[in-house]
Amino acid sequence: MRISTRSRYGMRLMLALGINENKKPVFLKDIAQSEGISEKYLSQIVIPLKARGVISSFRGAHGGYLLGKPASQIRLRDIIEPLEGDFCLVDCVKSSDICDKWEECATRDIWNEMSSLLLNYMDEFTLEDLIKKHRFKH
């Protein structure tokens, strides 16, 4: 499994919003420029993050983007899952209809456990944790 560029850029977008010191809405073009990411690409990433409630947008001259809730309440899973989709590593884990060896398959249990570990790991960390790591490095 690989995390897509979409998720990596989504994390950078969320970090940029999270470290926004003045707490005023930030224009997407400014984040795109500072992160070296296409504004058009970021505008596509914003859509599922807004739907998840982790980003809020404001129109007008003083418009832009802010976090939709406190960084301490945004889990990494809340950022990555809407951008990647289902985190099931193997299709047979989410549906027994995929494989006729579903009940007897020992590897299915491994895939299921690996999927759960990944999801649990992403639930352990918040955007606030990521912001702290960023500040420590700068």
pLDDT in tens, 10-69: 999 999 999 986 688 999 999 999 999 999 999 999 999 999 999 999 988 778 999 999
Share of the chain above pLDDT 70, in %: 98
Could you tell me the domains of the chain? 5-86+126-137 (1.10.10.10)
Beta bridge partners of 56: 66
H or E segment to which residue 110 belongs: helix 106-124
pLDDT averaged over every residue in the chain: 89
Q: What is the pLDDT of residue 32?
A: 95
Hey, is 31 helix, strand or coil?
helix
